[in-house]
């Protein structure tokens, strides 16, 4: 009796498993099918053709092909995260002309080809975060002119060719965080006229060419933290009339050239913390004194007279706002470690090198000794 019951149950289980893999156990309404976690190896072909939303998360899909979606032409959202997709066949989504979003996170895709996304004329959001993409062929997104959000974070991109984002005239968000990008070619973003949010954090960028962001006039947020940028050249972040947030924390910045941050009228936040600045670039005082939030913490500030660089032309010498000076916590010389610059009596700062050109940057010094001394003094007096 009980062994018969067991056999029946086992048989039932086997049948249920069989139904699952054919997709019969997807949970469907007229407009939505949910097929999560069913060990599916292909897109079920027995679902209502009227569906506009299809969830196939947590399955065993390894590839996608055009015939998988022939029956589901009304789809507007397609969810495919957490499968094992390593390839998407040529024109796989060709018939999904009404598709507006595809979620492909946590798969194993290694490359995107020029015909992968052909036909997706309505697509607005494409999320390919957490894959293994190493390269994007030029023109890959050309057939997706309505794309607004493109997410390619946590992949293996080492470089991006300038043609990668051609045709994305409506793109507003581009996410490239946690890739292996070391260098960005100057024209890479210049054909993205609507770009507002650009995420490039956690890459290996060492150098930014001054023209890289010069045509991205709608940019509001630029995130570059955790890269390896050593110097900000003149003109790198200039004429960005809408830029509100610029994050350069956790880089290797030692120097910022004059003119690096000019004409940023809306800038509200600039992060320069956790960098390698020893000497306060006066550019910070001149170009950024009106930025409401300017972060300068955790730089190895050298608290002697060189903290205010001597190597700038007379016409741009001027005092730094107390808000900026207040953030300078000394690292060297050892005796001042951990002290705020504003708390140190200027008479004890080591000024033996004053008056000499600063050989570190190779420029001639024009700010006279007394000027710098008075500057420091005025800052300290302002505070006391
Ligand atoms: C799906 O993947 C799981 C996890 O790796 C595995 O145990 C299972 O056998 C796979 N199922 C099929 C039908 O391939
Ligand atoms: C697809 O959507 C259109 C417009 O809503 C509708 O007329 C048509 O019947 C739908 N197709 C199917 C197969 O349900
Ligand atoms: C696609 O969308 C358009 C307009 O949004 C609609 O008229 C059409 O019926 C849709 N087609 C399908 C196949 O759903
Ligand atoms: C700074 O040091 C000088 C010389 O030791 C001293 O005369 C002066 O009072 C000090 N100033 C302050 C604000 O402590
Ligand atoms: C002052 O700075 C000079 C040049 O950096 C250095 O050679 C000298 O030892 C310093 N003096 C003190 C007392 O720290």
Q: What is the pLDDT of residues 54-88, one digit of tens each?
A: 999 999 999 999 999 999 999 999 999 999 999 99
**Across the chain, how many H-helices and E-strands are there?**
4, 21
**363: in domain:** yes
Distance between CA 327 and CA 331 in Å, rounded? 12
Q: If we measure between CA atoms, which residue out of 143, 102, 93 comes closest to residue 121? A: 143
**71: in domain:** no
Looking at every residue in the chain, the average pLDDT score rounds to 84
Question: Does an H or E element contain 330, and which?
Answer: strand 330-332
Query: 137 or 157: which carries more pLDDT confidence?
Result: 157
Query: Hey, whose CA ends up nearest to atom 5 of ligand 4?
Result: 347
With bands split at pLDDT 50, 70 and 90, how would you rate the model's confidence at 167? very high
Closest ligand to C-alpha of residue 100 is: 3
Closest ligand to C-alpha of residue 345 is: 4
Domain count, the chain: 1
Q: Is 76 a pocket residue for ligand 2 (Cβ < 6 Å)?
A: no
pLDDT of residue 6: 61
**226: in domain:** no
Q: Find all residues with CB under 8 Å of 329, minimum gap 6, and list them.
A: 297, 301, 338, 339, 340, 341
Query: Hey, whose CA ends up nearest to atom 12 of ligand 5?
Result: 350
**127: in domain:** no
Average pLDDT over every residue of 337-344 = 84
**372: in domain:** yes
**88: in domain:** no
- C-alpha 373 to ligand 5 mean position (Å): 17
Q: Which of 262-266, 284-288, 379-383 has the lowest mean pLDDT?
A: 379-383
Distance between CA 379 and CA 325 in Å, rounded? 8
From the CB of residue 18, how many other CB atoms can be counted at a distance below 10 Å? Answer: 11
Helix (H, G, I), strand (E, B) or coil at 294: strand
Distance between CA 34 and CA 17 in Å, rounded? 17
- For residues 253 and 277, is the Cβ–Cβ distance under 8 A? yes
pLDDT of residue 107: 98
Query: Hey, whose CA ends up nearest to atom 4 of ligand 2?
Result: 74
**114: in domain:** no
* Residue-range definition of the domain harbouring residue 329: 305-384
**293: in domain:** no
Q: Is the pLDDT of residue 381 over 80?
A: no
What are 173-226's pLDDT values in tens digits?
999 999 999 999 888 998 899 999 999 999 999 999 998 998 899 999 999 999
Q: Is the pLDDT of residue 314 over 60?
A: no
Calculate what percentage of the chain has a pLDDT beyond 90: 64
């Amino acid at each position: 009796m009980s062994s018969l019951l067991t056999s029946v149950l086992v048989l039932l289980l086997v049948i249920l498993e069989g139904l699952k893999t054919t997709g019969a156990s997807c949970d469907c309404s007229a407009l939505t099918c949910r097929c999560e976690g069913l060990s599916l190896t292909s897109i079920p072909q027995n679902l209502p053709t009227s569906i506009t939303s299809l969830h196939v998360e947590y399955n065993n899909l390894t590839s996608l092909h055009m015939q998988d979606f022939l029956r589901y032409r009304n789809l507007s959202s397609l969810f495919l995260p957490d499968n094992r997709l390593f390839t998407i066949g040529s024109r796989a989504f060709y018939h999904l002309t009404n598709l507006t979003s595809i979620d492909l996170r946590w798969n194993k895709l290694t490359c995107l080809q020029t015909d992968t996304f052909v036909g997706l004329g309505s697509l607005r959001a494409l999320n390919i975060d957490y894959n293994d993409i190493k390269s994007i062929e030029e023109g890959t997104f050309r057939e997706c002119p309505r794309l607004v959000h493109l997410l390619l974070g946590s992949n293996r991109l080492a470089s991006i060719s300038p043609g990668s984002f051609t045709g994305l005239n409506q793109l507003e968000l581009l996410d490239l965080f946690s890739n292996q990008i070391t260098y960005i070619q100057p024209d890479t973003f210049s054909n993205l006229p609507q770009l507002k949010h650009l995420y490039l954090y956690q890459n290996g960028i060492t150098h930014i060419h001054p023209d890289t962001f010069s045509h991205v006039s709608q940019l509001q947020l630029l995130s570059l933290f955790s890269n390896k940028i050593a110097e900000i050249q003149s003109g790198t972040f200039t004429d960005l009339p809408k830029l509100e947030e610029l994050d350069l924390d956790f880089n290797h910045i030692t120097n910022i050239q004059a003119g690096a941050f000019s004409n940023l009228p809306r800038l509200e936040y600039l992060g320069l913390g956790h960098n390698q600045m020893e000497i306060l670039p006066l550019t910070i005082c001149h170009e950024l004194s009106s930025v409401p939030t300017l972060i300068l913490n955790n730089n190895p500030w050298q608290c002697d007279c060189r903290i205010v660089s001597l190597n700038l032309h007379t016409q741009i010498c001027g005092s730094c706002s107390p808000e900026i000076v207040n953030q300078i916590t000394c690292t060297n010389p050892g005796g001042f470690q951990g002290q705020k610059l504003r708390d140190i009596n200027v008479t004890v700062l080591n000024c033996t090198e004053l008056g000499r050109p600063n050989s570190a940057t190779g420029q001639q010094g024009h700010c006279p000794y007394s000027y710098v001394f008075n500057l420091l003094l005025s800052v300290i007096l302002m505070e006391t």
